[in-house]
Copies of this chain bind each other. A is one copy, B any other.
Amino acid sequence: MDGSGEKKPAKRRSQDRVLQRDPERTRAAILEAATREFAENGMGGARVDAIAERAGTNKRMLYHYFGDKEQLYLHVLEEAYVGIRTAERELHIGDRSPEEGIAELALFTWRYFHKHPEFLSLLGTENLHRARWLRQSVRLKELHSHLIVELTEVLDRGKKAGVFIESADPLNVYLTIASLGYFYISNQYTLSTIFGRDLADTGNLDAWERHIVHVTLASIKA
């Protein structure tokens, strides 16, 4: 196509921008940029060009590493689930008393949601589409059982000790904790607007943290 012997434009370009040539870093940069873009705009609102720009690369690389927009989104979602479940494994709710174990799980979940609103946003997007991509995922089948197993053991110990009611169900307890955290964080903008109180205020956040622990324990106490 060229063959004119003129190499100037290309040479000048390689001086302007430092060529990375670091596949691992490029891949990671794309994944992080995509996480933010999908979390901020949802599947329909996210722009492939915007992801490439945020990652400091271009579309070609994005398609090179991840195939297409949908597969990139699935990678982002899987990574987000791996993130919370990995962090969850590091806390051992069975180490102290049953009440302290439940309180610890509630605190962890609330704080993780608060620290990672992009995870909640991705969940919202995925549910809007009725778990269309999550259901296709092969990576995320065995990931969640650990949580329920450990929670079941703590509840059983509490029941035997007579501090928890017999009807306390592990899934219900987890859903209760998750509900109270998820709704407060993910709906803070409409709630703050219609009730005229800033839910992101530190005082309100601390109060809600205590509230979650109180509600969870009150609902299973014997």
Contact = CB atoms under 8 A, between A and B. Distances in A.
Q: Classify the secondary structure of A's interface with B.
A: helix
Quickly give the copy total for this chain: 2
A193 interface: yes
A78 B167 CA distance: 41
Interface in A119-162: 121, 123-128, 130-131, 134-135, 140, 143-144, 148
A97 interface: no
A144 to B, nearest CB: 5
A184 B179 contact: yes
B195 A148 contact: yes
A36 B124 CA distance: 17
Task: Say which size band chain A's interface belongs to.
Answer: 35 or more
A190 B44 contact: no
A41 interface: yes
30 contacts: A43-B44, A43-B45, A44-B45, A44-B46, A45-B45, A81-B194, A124-B127, A124-B186, A127-B187, A131-B190, A131-B193, A134-B189, A134-B190, A134-B193, A143-B194, A144-B194, A171-B197, A172-B211, A175-B184, A176-B180, A176-B215, A179-B179, A179-B184, A182-B183, A183-B183, A214-B219, A215-B215, A218-B218, A218-B221, A219-B219
